[in-house]
Chain A
C-alpha cells in the first residue's frame, strides 16, 4: 500500500530521516512510534507530500507519489493532526464535507455522508451538523477532525498524534472508536504516537523509529517479547512490562474449554491484564469465561495466564 525505499530527509545539518525503507500493507493499522526527533512525523508527512524527501522513492498503491499532483494524492488520503485544525469559519457539516466538496460530490450524497460519519463518531448529527468548531469540546472537535479525514472514503488514513492533546478518558474513547472504525472499514491507517500504551492497544503492526532509522517492526506481541535492543526495552518500559505484555492478548486465547468455575465470568474479548485485575480483586486463581452472547466458554487459570509471559 505504502512503500518507502531508501528515503532520506535533511533539515539543514539535521538528518530527520536516514535511508529509510518501510512498507505498510493494505488494511494494516500501522503505528509509528519513537522518541521526539525520531523522524516519525516527518515520515508521515512525506506520505502525503507535505514534506518532500531529499532522496529515495515513496510509492502509494504502486504509484511513485513524486509523479502525482500533491492535491490529487492528498484527496485520496485522510489526514488528522494533533492540533485538529478545523476551519473555524465553517460549520461542522461544511468541515466534514471539505474533501467531498473539493471532489465535486453531489450535494445530497455529501449530506448523507456527513450524517453517516457523525453517527459513526457518536455525535448527534442533527444537533452538531450546524454547530461551529468553537462550540465543541476538544474531544468533539477531534471527532469532527476524524470525520473530515474519512469523508471521501480514503484508502489510507494518516494520523499525526491525533489524541495526544486530549484528556485520558476522551483519548480512551476515541482509541476504541478508531479500533472499531478500522475493523469496520478496513482502511489502511498510519498512526504516529509517542505513547507506547496507545501503540500496543491500536496497532496491528508497530514500527519503532530512532534518529530517522527503523529500529524494529513487528506486531505488538513481537515488540514486547522480542525487543530488538535496549532502546525498544526503554520504550516499552521495564517496570510495567509484564502488564503491557498481558494487555496485548485476550482471555479467549488462554481459556481451557469445557471447564466451569464459580464467580462473575470474564468476557472472552477482555485483555489478560483485565483478567489479572479481576482475579486479584476476587482473590481467586481461576474465573469462568463467557463469549459475546454471555454463553459459558470455559475457565481461565492464573497459571495459564502467567505461562509464556516471560521475556524472550
Chain B
C-alpha cells in the first residue's frame, strides 16, 4: 500500500492551525472612544473587508499552505519569506484600518492591537524562525533575514503608516521622554555590565582554577539569583541610604540608578562567572598540557589557548546576562532608576494598556537585539574553532 504523506512540516501545521483559530475566533483590533474605556472588538474579516487591503493577508494564506508542500529548499525559502511578509502585512493591515477608523472618529478614539493580532503576529514570526532553521542559514543569513523582517515593519513606523494606532498615539504623547527612556534603559544595562565583567570574569577564572573557590562562590551567587528583584531593591535600600547619609558627597542614595546598577550587577554575576568557569573547564586537558609543555608562560597559555577556546561558552553567558539585565532593568523603574520601566509603570498605574506596551515592546526589542548580536558573535567564534568546540 502506498502511504501518501500529507503533512510535510508539523511546526508549520501547528502555526497554521493557531493562525486560523486566531483569525476566526479572536478580535484582531479593539476600538474605544478614549484610552480609558474598554473597546469593542473588530474581527479580522471586518478589518480586511475594505476591498484590496485583504491582499495584505496573501502571505498569511501562503503560510497556511506550507505544511502540505513537499519540504525542500524552495518551500523553506517560501515559508521564511511568507512568514516575514505576513508579520509585516498584519501590522500594515492594523495601521490601515486604524487610519480608516480615525477618519470618522474623534481624536480621543483609540484603535489597539487585540488578541487575534498578537497571536497571528507571533505565529508569523515563529514561522520565520522555523524557516530560517530549516534553511540551515549561517549567521550572516540569519542576520539578513532578521534585518529584512525588521525593515518591513520598521519602515511602516517610519513612514507614519501606523500613526493612528493607539500605541503610536501614546508614543506621540511621550515623544519627549521616549528616546531618553530608551537611552537610560540601555545605560543602566551597560553600567551594570562593566562591574559584572570586572568581578564576574575573575571569579569564574578563580572558581575553575580552585574548586574550593567554586564551592564558595556559586552557592552565594545562586542564592542572589533566587531573590526576587523587587526584594533585592528593598534589601539594598537600607544600607545604601545609610551610606548616602554617612557620605553625602558620594552622590548615591537608596533609590535611583545606583541601587539599580548594583542589583543588576548582582544578578548578572552568576551567568558570567558560571559560563567563564564552564568555558575554561571545557578546554581539553591535553591541550593545556601541550601548551605548557612547549614552553608557553601561564599568561600565554591563558590568552593564546584557554581564552579563545572558552570564548563561545563565555559569550553565551554574556548573552543570558544581557537579556536578563534588559528585562530586570524595567523593574528598576520602581526605585526611580528611570528607563523604559518608567513608561510601563506609568501605563499600569493609569490603566492605559497601550502605554504599557509602549514601554514593554522596546524592552523586548532591546532583548531580542542583544540576543541576536551575541548569538552571531558566538556563532562566529564557534565557526573559527571548527567542529572541535561544537
Chain A residues within 8 Å of B, Cβ to Cβ: 48, 50, 70-75, 79, 81, 83-89, 98-99, 102, 132-135, 145, 148-149
Are the C-beta atoms of B309 and A75 separated by less than 8 Å?
A: no
The residues in B between 275 and 300 inclusive whose CB is less than 8 angstroms from any CB of A are 284-297, 300
Query: Besides A83-B289, A87-B291, A88-B386, 13 other CB < 8 A contacts?
Result: A48-B293, A50-B292, A73-B295, A74-B292, A74-B293, A81-B286, A85-B287, A86-B287, A86-B290, A89-B386, A98-B296, A134-B387, A135-B386
Check if B308 is an interface residue, CB within 8 A of chain A: yes
**21 cross-chain CB contacts under 8 A:** A74-B292, A74-B293, A81-B289, A83-B286, A84-B286, A85-B286, A85-B290, A87-B304, A88-B287, A88-B385, A88-B389, A89-B309, A89-B384, A89-B385, A89-B389, A98-B296, A99-B294, A99-B295, A102-B294, A132-B386, A134-B386
Are the C-beta atoms of B309 and A85 separated by less than 8 Å?
A: no
Are the C-beta atoms of B297 and A71 separated by less than 8 Å?
A: yes
Are the C-beta atoms of A149 and B309 separated by less than 8 Å?
A: no
Check if B114 is an interface residue, CB within 8 A of chain A: no
The residues in B between 3 and 24 inclusive whose CB is less than 8 angstroms from any CB of A are none
B295 nearest CB across to chain A (Å): 4
How far does the alpha carbon of A148 sit from the alpha carbon of B295 in the complex, in Å? 12
How far does the alpha carbon of A20 sit from the alpha carbon of B290 in the complex, in Å? 26
How far does the alpha carbon of A148 sit from the alpha carbon of B290 in the complex, in Å? 10
Chain B, 147-172, contact with A by CB distance < 8 Å: what is the 0/1 string? 00000000000000000000000000
A140 nearest CB across to chain B (Å): 15
Are the C-beta atoms of A81 and B294 separated by less than 8 Å?
A: no
Are the C-beta atoms of B289 and A85 separated by less than 8 Å?
A: yes
The residues in B between 365 and 388 inclusive whose CB is less than 8 angstroms from any CB of A are 384-388
How far does the alpha carbon of A67 sit from the alpha carbon of B28 in the complex, in Å? 80
Interface size (B, Cβ < 8 Å)?
25
Q: Which residues of B contact A50 (CB under 8 A)?
A: 289, 292-293
Are the C-beta atoms of A75 and B295 separated by less than 8 Å?
A: yes
Known: A72-B295, A134-B387, A134-B388. A89 touches B300 (CB 8 A): no
Q: Which residues of B contact A132 (CB under 8 A)?
A: 386, 388
Known: A85-B284, A87-B287, A89-B309. A102 touches B296 (CB 8 A): yes
Are the C-beta atoms of B296 and A71 separated by less than 8 Å?
A: yes
How far does the alpha carbon of A250 sit from the alpha carbon of B297 in the complex, in Å? 46
Check if B305 is an interface residue, CB within 8 A of chain A: yes
Q: Which residues of B contact A88 (CB under 8 A)?
A: 284, 287, 309, 385-386, 388-389
How far does the alpha carbon of A99 sit from the alpha carbon of B292 in the complex, in Å? 11
Q: Which residues of B contact A72 (CB under 8 A)?
A: 295
Are the C-beta atoms of A75 and B294 separated by less than 8 Å?
A: yes
How far does the alpha carbon of A294 sit from the alpha carbon of B287 in the complex, in Å? 47
Known: A71-B296, A75-B294, A148-B294. A87 touches B305 (CB 8 A): yes
How far does the alpha carbon of A68 sit from the alpha carbon of B372 in the complex, in Å? 50
A176 nearest CB across to chain B (Å): 24
Are the C-beta atoms of B290 and A81 separated by less than 8 Å?
A: yes
Contact among A70, A87, A89 for B290, CB-based, below 8 A: A87
Are the C-beta atoms of A71 and B291 separated by less than 8 Å?
A: no
- Among A48, A98, A99, A145: residue with most chain B CB under 10 A: A98
Known: A50-B289, A84-B286, A133-B388. A89 touches B308 (CB 8 A): yes
A120 nearest CB across to chain B (Å): 18
How far does the alpha carbon of A71 sit from the alpha carbon of B290 in the complex, in Å? 12
Q: Which residues of A contact B300 (CB under 8 A)?
A: 102
The residues in B between 254 and 275 inclusive whose CB is less than 8 angstroms from any CB of A are none
